[in-house]
Amino acid sequence: MSAITDGQKIVDHLKELVHIPSPSGFAEKAITFMKEFFEKNGVAYTVTNKGAIIATIKGKNDSRHRMLTAHVDTLGAMVKEVKSSGRLSLSMIGGYYWNTVEGEYCTIHTASGKTISGTVLMHETAGHVYKGMNELKRDEKHMEVRVDGVFRSKEDALSAGISVGDFVSFSPRFEETENGFIKSRHLDDKASVAILMHIIEKVKDENVQLPYTTHFLISNNEEIGYGGNSNIPEQTVEYLAVDMGAIGDGQETDEFTVSICAKDSSGPYHLGLRNKLVQLAEENSIKYKIDIYPYYSSDASAAIKAGYDIVHGLIGPGIDASHAFERTHRTSLLHTANLLYVYLQSDMS
């Protein structure tokens, strides 16, 4: 069993993924991308009625299954109103604060399939016009999209094909630094999807025989709370969400290790599975942190709330400035990948 050492392959997958617009409710292109990946690697999959994808690699034991999940849906927005000025007010998709998208480039995805670029700004942005603009609240009332079109009225915007209900995606601004940092929006959770992609490639390329049939759920509604709460095969015993580790004051998680979650806002994760992950990390010289995420829930906790009788856990790379200007380091991606790789080849308790 060789360790995963090529972080660049994970980063390459990640770069492709973050450039596919996929706010919750608008993730079809990202799911299609994953279909093509599974087909290329000879992995059988099914698509759920909700639009998620479940890929399966059969193991030696087909009576007890594992399931790993990561999500391709991201934060985003929807056009709430076409203003008389031709600018757009937004309704947010997912849990973020308006100040985290102020000044961000965005794309409006019209019902006809046309895309139009714009910028998310506070209405009172002009410093030479609006006194006290720095004191105004960043909220749905004050934030709007300045559309890159000759729009002087609501009618101009409507004529261009923009309407209420159009999805709006935010520019990822992906960048990899020379010293190994990856900066981008949507690292939550496309970093973990990229990790699972590389693990699947390694399992297939090296003909690794997994001890248990293993399912990989790529969910598409996690950011709104119900991406992984259904379509779990009845043989599933262990369910591991691969998401992101939250960094901030009072947190142990950093950008250079794998974060193992003990508890989030949904409650504690399964102690036995957590201890097993810690043991595997220590036995394989994988750097890790144990942490509690105070304002967080996952596809694994959604499955528990839905009533599934499973052992659930949560791990992921450490992501700085989550739901905002996110950043991680390739060492965190590698430690997460290696913990998952040894976990997939370990015995259930």
Q: Which of 277, 249, 248 is nearest to 261 (CA)?
A: 277
Which residue type, as a one-letter code, is found at position 333? L
Q: Give the mean pLDDT of 54-81.
A: 98
Q: Write out the two tokens for 1.
A: 């069993």
Has residue 175 got a pLDDT over 60? yes
Q: Which residue has the higher pLDDT, 349 or 52?
A: 52
Question: Which residue's structure tokens are 């993730």?
Answer: 27
Has residue 59 got a pLDDT over 60? yes
Percent of the chain with pLDDT over 90: 94
DSSP state of 102: T
Domains and CATH numbers, the chain: 7-74+186-344 (3.40.630.10), 76-170 (2.40.30.40)
Report d(CA 338, CA 258) in Å as an integer.
9
The whole-model pTM stands at 0.97
- Model pLDDT, residue 1: 55
Element spanning 92, H or E: strand 88-93
- Model pLDDT, residue 127: 85
Please count the other Cβ atoms lying within 10 Å of the Cβ belonging to residue 112.
9
- Model pLDDT, residue 324: 96
176 catalytically annotated: no
Element spanning 35, H or E: helix 28-40
**243 assigned ligand-binding residue:** yes
Q: Write out the two tokens for 182.
A: 């990856």
**71 assigned ligand-binding residue:** yes
Question: What does the pLDDT look like over 156-165, one tens digit per residue?
Answer: 999 999 999 9
- Model pLDDT, residue 135: 87
Has residue 327 got a pLDDT over 60? yes
User: Which of the residues 222, 238, 255, 326 is marked catalytic?
Assistant: 222
Q: Give the mean pLDDT of 200-212.
A: 96
Residue 285, classed as helix, strand or coil, is coil
Report d(CA 90, CA 82) in Å as an integer.
9
Report d(CA 44, CA 28) in Å as an integer.
19
Has residue 266 got a pLDDT over 80? yes
Per the CB < 8 A criterion, the answer to whether 245 and 307 are in contact is: no
Q: Where are the beta strands (DSSP E) in 247-298?
A: 258-264, 267-268, 288-292
**283 assigned ligand-binding residue:** no
Report d(CA 294, CA 135) in Å as an integer.
28
Per the CB < 8 A criterion, the answer to whether 138 and 99 are in contact is: yes
3-state SS, 204-258, equals HHCCCCCCEEEEEEEECCHHHCCCCCCCCCCCEEEEEEECCEECCCCCCCCCCCE
Farthest-apart Cα atoms in the chain, separation: 69
**198 assigned ligand-binding residue:** no
Report d(CA 201, CA 178) in Å as an integer.
26
